[in-house]
Amino acid sequence: MNIFVTGGAGYIGSHTVRLLAEAGHRVRVYDNLSEGHAAAVPAGSLFEGDLADEKRLVEGLLDGFDCVMHFAAHCSVGESMEKPEKYYGNNVVGSLRLLSAMRKTGVKRIVFSSSAATYGNPVKTPIPEDHPTDPINAYGQTKLDFEHALKYYAGAYGIGYAALRYFNAAGAAPDAKIGEDHDPETHLVPIVLEAALGRRDAVAIFGTDYPTPDGTCIRDYIHVYDLAQAHILAMEAIEPGKGRVYNLGNGAGYSVREVIETARRVTGHRLPVKEGPRRAGDPPTLVASSEKITRELGWKPRFPDLQAIVETAWRWHKANPKGYAE
Ligand code: UDP
C-alpha cells in the first residue's frame, strides 16, 4: 500500500516507517523536522511540510495514498500544562487540517496516534477501551478531542479510522540503527539512559508521595516496534466510515523507581536520583488492558518485558550518545 506518514521522522513514526518499508509498503514521510530527524527516515521518503499548512498537505497527499498514519504531534504532558495553546494548535487544529486535506484528495483511511492520557485518573486497572475518558492534562485532552472529530468525520464523510491509545512507548530498533531522541528530552527511559551516559548528573523523580507501593508513578511501557506492528495490523483492519479504538500496552505496571532500577541492571551504572515534586498532569497509575487488539487483530508483542525494552534503548543510546546530532 501507499502510506502517508505525518511525523514519520519522529520517534514512533520513524520506527513504524521502517517496519512498513520492510513489509513492502511505499511510504512518504510528511514532517516539518521541528522535532523529527531526517537521518531517521529512508532516503528519498521525506516530504517536508507543516501540519498547519493545508496546501502543502494536499500537495503531499496527491499521489494516490491508501492510508494516512498520523504521528505528528506535541507529546509532553508537563509542557502541555504550561503551553496548552501550542498543543491545541498542533494536535487539534493541525490535525483537522490534515483531515481536510484528506477529504480534498480522497484519502479515506487514517491510523491515529492517541494516548492513554485520554483516560485521566483510572477508576479501574488495567484500563479497557470502554473505561471513561476524562483527561487530566491538556495533551490527553487534545488527543481525545481529535478522536471525537474522527468519529464524526467517519459518520459524515466515510473516513475509516483506527485510534491507537499508546501507553508508554520506549525502546529502539533492535539493530540500534534508529532510536529515541527528543530535544529537550522529557521522557523517563531516555532521560535515565542519558544519565547512564554521564550526560545528566541525576535523574529527577517527579513525585514520591503518590498512592502507589513505592510512592512513584506507575506506567505500562511498550516497545516501539510492538507499537509499530500494531499500526500495520490496524491499518489492514480499517473499514470505510467506521472507527476502531485500541489500547496498546503490556498490561504490566512499573514505578519510576523500578524503571531506574531496571536501567541500573542493564547499564551497570549507579544512576543517582534526585527526589522532587510532582509534575502537573500525571495520574498515579496507567496500565493497559490490550486484550481487545490481541483478540480482534492478533497483536502479540515481541518485547513484552521492561528489561528487554530498556536493553534495546540502551544499545541505541550507547551507539549514539549524542542522538542524531552525531
Ligand atoms: N518522570 C520522572 N522524571 C523524569 C521524567 C519522567 O519521574 O525526568 C516520570 C513522570 O512523572 C511519569 C513517568 O516518569 O510518572 C513517565 O513519564 P514520561 O514523561 O516518560 O511519559 P508520560 O507518562 O508522561 O507519557
Contact 206 CB / ligand 1 (< 6 Å): yes
176 within some domain: no
The set of cell numbers assigned to 263 is 536501567
Contact 191 CB / ligand 1 (< 6 Å): yes
Report the sign of the C-alpha dihedral through residues 265, 266, 271, 274, in that order: negative
Query: What is the domain count for the chain?
Result: 2
The string of DSSP codes covering 88-120 is: IIIIIIIHHHHHHHHHHHT--EEEEEEEGGGSB
| Shared-domain flag, residues 130 and 99 | yes
| Shared-domain flag, residues 196 and 157 | no
The one-digit pLDDT tens for each residue of the chain (326 residues) are: 999 999 999 999 999 999 999 999 999 999 999 999 999 999 999 999 999 999 999 999 999 999 999 999 999 999 999 999 999 999 999 999 999 999 999 999 999 999 999 999 999 999 999 999 999 999 999 999 999 999 999 999 999 999 999 999 999 999 999 999 999 999 999 999 999 999 999 999 999 999 999 999 999 999 999 999 999 999 999 999 999 999 999 999 999 999 999 999 999 999 999 999 999 999 999 999 999 999 999 999 999 999 999 999 999 999 999 999 85
Q: Which CATH number covers residue 195? A: 3.90.25.10
Q: Which of 230, 248, 266 is the last residue of a domain?
A: 248
The set of cell numbers assigned to 87 is 498543543
Q: Which pLDDT score is estimated for 321?
A: 93
Contact 119 CB / ligand 1 (< 6 Å): no
Q: Which pLDDT score is estimated for 326?
A: 58
| Shared-domain flag, residues 96 and 227 | yes
| Shared-domain flag, residues 214 and 244 | no
The SS3 call for residue 191 is: helix
| Shared-domain flag, residues 158 and 210 | no
| Shared-domain flag, residues 125 and 143 | yes
CA of 125 from ligand 1 middle (Å) equals 19
Q: Which of 233, 248, 263 is the last residue of a domain?
A: 248
178 within some domain: no
238 within some domain: yes
| Shared-domain flag, residues 236 and 317 | no
| Shared-domain flag, residues 243 and 98 | yes
| Shared-domain flag, residues 201 and 277 | yes
Tell which atom from ligand 1 comes closest to the C-alpha of 115. Answer: 25
Torsion of CA 92, 56, 179, 304, to 10 degrees: 50
**Residue 209 CB coordination number (10 Å):** 11
182 within some domain: no
What is the longest distance spanned by two Cα atoms in the chain?
56
Angle at 113 (CA atoms; ends 109, 114), nearest 5 degrees: 115
Which domain, by its residues, includes 244? 2-170+221-248
| Shared-domain flag, residues 101 and 163 | yes
| Shared-domain flag, residues 126 and 197 | no
CA of 153 from ligand 1 middle (Å) equals 33
| Shared-domain flag, residues 87 and 234 | yes
The SS3 call for residue 180 is: coil
